[in-house]
Amino acid sequence: MIQLTLQEVAEATSGRLVLGDNGASASTVVRGESQTDSREVTAGNIFFARHGEETDGHLFAGKAVDLGAALLVVEREVDDRVPQIVVADATIALGALATEVVRRVREAGDLTIVGITGSNGKTTTKNLVAAMAERVGTTVASAKSFNNEVGGPLTMLRLEENTRTLVAEMGASAAGEIQRLTSMAPPQIGVVLTVGLAHAGGFGGINSTFEAKSEMVQDLPETAVAVLNRDDGYVGRMAELTRARVRWFGLHPEADVRATDIDADANGTRFTLHADGASLPVSFKVLGEHHVTNALASATVGLELGLTLSQVVEVLEGATRAARWRMEVMGGRDGITIINDAYNASPDSMSAGLKTLAQIKKPTGRTVAVLGAMSELGEYTIEEHLRIALLAVRLRISELVVVGAEARHLHISAINEGSWDGECVFFESRDDAFDYLESSLRPDDTVLVKSSNAAGLNLLGDRLGEAFA
């Protein structure tokens, strides 16, 4: 974080400064990272004691001080060993401090903010864009999938005086959340990838999802750039909602940055990248043809940041995986390939994963889909799980292994299709599924492990990857 005094932090958060017993004064400077999880605190950090869904951060303030926290932002006084700033709401204070830090860095330097949203592909695109931005100068990008009212500000607070680019994932599970993040860090480049049924339970349907995702571009000024997916009809409509210059990406022939000659296999995807009248071949090692969309979005941003097309291709070809637990290729023993794609799942990404599995099947092996539940679909939950089961049957996936009670509809629907005889099995627990797979997988099998994060199948994928390493 940039250098701020305790008094300046108090003013930014509209809080009351309470000096501790360590001799600090209002002019004492803090510049450590901010944390909301006491387990992540290191010396010099600021700890925000939030009321979480399951616990109260104030209960862990003492632990944060023990680990070296230099300042506590609290809703009630808790520990007088270090200074405290007492605020009405610690989460709101976190956002307010992030807003002030972004403002100061923008005014003092040459900061470009890239905001990325979409129902699928945010983290993959963010990682690729960050790699592009590093070619320009010092870059701060969202860690993990830090894209909500907590993760977003924590990322923004990592800005330093010399930061050239902030690459911020901006997710939402309800209307207004993206607008809140863009008000903290107004993008000069706003990216919208897709509009799908991810988090549909919170939004209330696809049209509400469209309205929420369009918050990314609605407030962009005329000097900004809206980077939009030409292949997604809902994203395409956003061009009418923004004052910004629109830059299209996609497979559509009218896209400004597009791909042709796509050829995907177990080693990645090859395609020809076209932009601004030039074309270059790309060997993209990230598994799954659907990730070409993310590559095109990041390429568009890279070009807007000033990279040449050759530099953009270098970055794309240097990427070895989308992100941790996203189409991550593991295994290898006896020709068995484990694809761990279980960090998150929506109907669109689940469909894309199954299609990739069918596409990269080895001639002498089987395809095995290990699937868990897709979360946050609301009224669409049963319908979408049934649809995925039907797709697995139609793609002639060799075996479907369904894990967890929340995903039982997948199992029932696959059986009801009548196309299989014992090729779909169900397990309540990850451990039971692992035991079955460890004993039943055959040489040259290709295995996709896919679920929402809440189902925890990413851990099953890791175990399988280790077992067949």
Contact (CB, 8 A) for 409 and 388:
no
Produce one character per residue of 348-374: b if its CB has 16 or more CB atoms within 10 Å, e if not: bbbbbbbbbbbebbeeebbbbbbbbbb
> Which residues contact residue 190 at a Cβ distance below 8 angstroms, ignoring those fewer than 6 apart?
114, 115, 117, 182, 216, 217, 220, 224, 225, 226, 227, 242, 244
Q: What are phi and psi of 149, to 5 degrees?
A: -65, -15
The residue behind tokens 């958060």 is 13
Q: Residue 197: name the closest of 347, 383, 8 by CA.
A: 347
Instruction: Tell me whether residue 121 is annotated as binding.
Output: yes
Element (H, E) at 408: helix 408-416
Instruction: Tell me whether residue 355 is annotated as binding.
Output: no
Q: What are phi and psi of 303, to 5 degrees?
A: -65, -40
> Which residues contact residue 449 at a Cβ distance below 8 angstroms, ignoring those fewer than 6 apart?
338, 339, 340, 341, 342, 370, 457, 458, 460, 461, 464
Cα separation, 380 vs 376, in Å, equals 9
If DSSP codes are grouped into helix, strand and coil, which group holds residue 237?
helix
Encoded tokens for 138: 């010092």
Rg (CA), the chain: 24
Instruction: Tell me whether residue 151 is annotated as binding.
Output: no
Instruction: Tell me whether residue 13 is annotated as binding.
Output: no
Cα separation, 25 vs 33, in Å, equals 20
Q: Residue 283: name the closest of 315, 329, 330, 327 by CA.
A: 315
Cα separation, 178 vs 168, in Å, equals 11
Instruction: Tell me whether residue 122 is annotated as binding.
Output: yes
Contact (CB, 8 A) for 182 and 215:
yes
Strand partners, 245: 225
Helix, strand, coil abundance in the chain, percent, nearest 5:
40, 20, 40
If DSSP codes are grouped into helix, strand and coil, which group holds residue 216?
helix
Contact (CB, 8 A) for 374 and 384:
yes
Strand partners, 270: 263, 283
Contact (CB, 8 A) for 284 and 270:
yes
Give the annotated binding-site residues.
118-124
Give the annotated binding-site residues for ATP.
118-124
